[in-house]
């Protein structure tokens, strides 16, 4: 049996060789050796997130927080992943109906509360809010997306549309 430190070194070697599957296997072996090591769960979570294995990433991030709640970086990582989960759920929810748009708005409000830097969540929140007839929220959300990423092309395209819809709704369009 190898110790966790050696297994971590092997995992990082695999990452340097772009072999993420092997890295995951080394991290999992390290966790098998030391299941209560929060850092091993955190590192595996990051690797799963990079490989777009979001469910597994959330599971290990949550375990890291459970094992060591004092680590702010573990908590922030978990919240970022949970925000991504909510974003994906909202994307799947939107189907063109107003009822689903309201549900998506609620999911996306939670997503941006968990990760206030999630530009894509703000952008989708703008789209969902517009579909739900919440024009002020639609405008506010696209403005926040642009504040986070002033060069975001989709947000730049969406901004004048959101401004125009809110003006029409308020009856202030000239």
Q: What is each CA distance from 115 to 29, 77, 99, in whole angstroms? A: 31, 9, 25
Q: 5: pLDDT confidence band, cut at 50, 70 and 90?
A: confident
Please tell me the predicted confidence (pLDDT) of residue 171. 87
Please enumerate in sequence order all residues whose Cβ is within 8 A of that of 80, keeping only pairs 6 or more positions apart, or say none.
114, 115, 118
Please give the average per-residue pLDDT across 61-69, as a whole number. Answer: 98
Please tell me the predicted confidence (pLDDT) of residue 158. 96
Please tell me the predicted confidence (pLDDT) of residue 172. 80
User: Is residue 1 predicted with pLDDT exceeding 60?
Assistant: no
- The matching CATH number, chosen from 1.20.59.10, 1.10.150.120, 3.40.50.11540, 1.25.40.10, for 4-70 is 1.25.40.10
Q: Which two tokens mark 4?
A: 């966790």
The CATH number given to 96-170 is 1.25.40.10
Please give the average per-residue pLDDT across 150-165, as a whole number. Answer: 96
Domain ranges of the chain: 4-70, 96-170
Please tell me the predicted confidence (pLDDT) of residue 13. 95
Q: 123: pLDDT confidence band, cut at 50, 70 and 90?
A: very high
Report pLDDT digits (tens) over 70-85.
999 999 999 999 999 9
């Amino acid at each position: 049996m190898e110790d966790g430190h050696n297994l971590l070194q092997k995992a990082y070697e695999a990452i340097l060789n772009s072999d993420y599957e092997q890295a995951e296997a080394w991290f999992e072996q390290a966790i098998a050796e030391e299941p209560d090591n929060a850092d091993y769960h955190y590192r595996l979570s990051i690797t799963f997130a990079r490989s777009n294995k979001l469910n597994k990433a959330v599971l290990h991030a949550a375990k890291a927080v459970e094992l060591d709640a004092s680590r702010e970086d573990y908590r922030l990582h978990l919240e970022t992943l949970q925000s991504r989960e909510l974003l994906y759920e909202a994307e799947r929810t939107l189907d063109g109906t107003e009822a689903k748009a309201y549900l998506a708005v609620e999911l996306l409000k939670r997503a941006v509360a968990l990760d206030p830097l999630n530009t894509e969540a703000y952008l989708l929140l703008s789209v969902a809010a517009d579909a739900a007839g919440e024009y002020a929220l639609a405008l506010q959300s696209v403005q926040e997306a642009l504040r986070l990423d002033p060069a975001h092309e989709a947000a730049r395209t969406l901004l004048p549309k959101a401004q125009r819809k809110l003006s029409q709704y308020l009856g202030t369009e000239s």
